[in-house]
Chains A and B, each alone.
Chain A
């Protein structure tokens, strides 16, 4: 099924006219930050592009990444691109279950060997971890991932869990969670981080692959530069207030009401690279900072362990500003002290941890 229809035929089957197709190409170029002079080339390439087979693997995740992509309120560009792929395996969306579902995955791998894309959401308990932490059809996540990527053309890690380990990997990482790029080293990998990721970033990568037959330009964390090339801070509409030194100091003060910069309330915009400020959310209705909440930095590695969400980025966790200034002459000692304190804190938390059994829960209920 995947190789029988071109993308243009697929769109026509959905009632998209020639002019609608040209509009699709114009919007795709804008989505991928390509110059509009490339629209004729994009149209030509998409006319002939075959639907790629996509195998979507869900591991230690919350389904938020799939929700992000599929919960559109109206037919959208990203919806059309998503329709344009041949999604041959996806736990949540597929009708088949059990052995039939696994047979569909193996069939797609055989039919499209060397040409299919693997999309992964969720982190994976590493090879040294107990495989029982997360299994599908009785197989460990690690075994399924390695089997599926063996003949893949490329791997797209969707969401911060697949890209960097995310919440499952937060200290003390009880399941030994790992990111895809730590386990797969012989395939092209694209990370589309975010908790959840921006749907246009997912479909932008798919559209780029459909158009050019290769993956887009990436940053140091293997994220597509078209969406992760600039910081939230640099594209934030509140940036002029930062430049003027006008900050909200609490969530209900005059600065918050005036829409001033949220830096002192812990905004991670200066250290976070993502396209929320330009693409926005829910049909471009708004985004967290516009709603009055600081950026959590969810598209960056280890954001769960990067200190409190409401601590300003220049103040390290558990060390106040005065202590930092006072320790200026002994920076190295402070660094070592902070690391020691962090280890002590982790050890303390581990000692305090109380494993809960089913029996204990039943007694409480």
Chain B
């Protein structure tokens, strides 16, 4: 019987069908590979701002095509949309920050278990707890949380 660890994620996993890789992208992908190895060994995360690199739109499109898409997608609506998807390489995320006019503010490759912007911090968790308590109290909960 297969274990949970042996089940592969869904996504573009066919390495034979990979599009060609232009020369300028090779060192960048080596940086991604090194960061992924460090994430596995040491748990340390890494980010690369593609918007700040001298890559034109064509090269960025070729890079995104090469790393493919995995099974996770998310969208955050805060100060304009932020679109996130996991690449076909689990642990390598594409985070596209946009402003209210949908203009790109930054485009990150984030090498992490979960992108930082998706995590909920402690202060926000506490705010959520207070909101839930207030809702229960307002609904006439006979046994409100202490």
Contacts and interface: CB of A to CB of B under 8 A. Distances in A.
Contacts of A29: 49, 106
Contacts of B47: 35-37, 39
Interface in B91-146: 95, 97, 99-101, 103, 105-106, 108, 116-117, 121, 123-124
A287 to B, nearest CB: 14
A24 B80 CA distance: 11
B78 A17 contact: yes
Contacts of B123: 18
A108 interface: no
Interface string A56-91: 000000000000000001111100100000000000
Q: Do most interface residues of chain B lie in helix, strand or loop, or is the interface mixed? A: mixed
Interface residues of B, number: 24
A33 interface: yes
Contact of A20 (B51, B78, B121): B78
B1 interface: no
A29 B48 CA distance: 11
In this complex, the member of B76, B99, B124 whose beta carbon has the largest number of chain A beta carbons within 10 angstroms is: B99
Q: Do most interface residues of chain A lie in helix, strand or loop, or is the interface mixed? A: helix
Contacts, number: 71
A361 interface: no
How many of chain A's residues touch chain B, expressed as a range? 20 to 34
A138 to B, nearest CB: 43
Contacts of B97: 23, 26-27, 30
B46 interface: yes
B17 interface: no
Nearest to B45: A37
B82 interface: yes
Given A30-B97, A30-B105, A40-B116, 5 more contacts: A26-B106, A26-B108, A27-B106, A37-B46, A77-B105
